[in-house]
């Protein structure tokens, strides 16, 4: 997984970054990301989701975000992809 920071871009409603393919777009400085092995492990799992499903992962992930938001009012706690990537590692408190 490659890590990239673009200013204050913040795409993930729940945490410190968003993984698209094998690229992590972080909303925090690179040094802070690299000091957080749990966040890196969480985002690595999402990179594996992308590798396994390809571009279809974006649609499946969006559906899980909608389901989670509808059921619980947040984007992560009922999202099967967040769950399989370890919610706590991703900074989610459910």
Q: Using CA of residue 92, residue 61, residue 18, residue 36, what is the dihedral sign?
A: positive
Which pLDDT belongs to residue 15?
60
Structural domain boundaries in the chain: 2-84
Instruction: Report if pTM > 0.95.
Output: no
Which pLDDT belongs to residue 10?
39
Work out the angle between the directed axes of helices 56-72 and 37-53 (0-180°, nearest 10).
120
Which pLDDT belongs to residue 12?
46
pLDDT, averaged per 10 consecutive residues of the chain (94 residues), comes to 46 66 85 89 94 95 94 93 93 88
Q: Is 59 exposed, middle or buried (0-12, 13-18, 19+ CB in 10 A)?
A: exposed
Which pLDDT belongs to residue 32?
87
């Amino acid at each position: 997984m490659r890590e990239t920071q673009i200013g204050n871009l913040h795409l993930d409603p729940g945490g410190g970054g968003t993984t698209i393919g094998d690229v992590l777009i972080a909303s925090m400085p690179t040094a802070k990301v690299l000091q957080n092995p749990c966040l890196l492990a969480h985002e690595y799992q999402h990179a594996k989701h992308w590798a396994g499903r390809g571009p279809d992962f974006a649609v499946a992930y969006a559906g899980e975000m909608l389901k989670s938001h509808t059921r619980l009012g947040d984007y992560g706690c009922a999202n099967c992809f967040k769950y399989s990537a370890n919610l706590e590692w991703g900074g989610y408190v459910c």
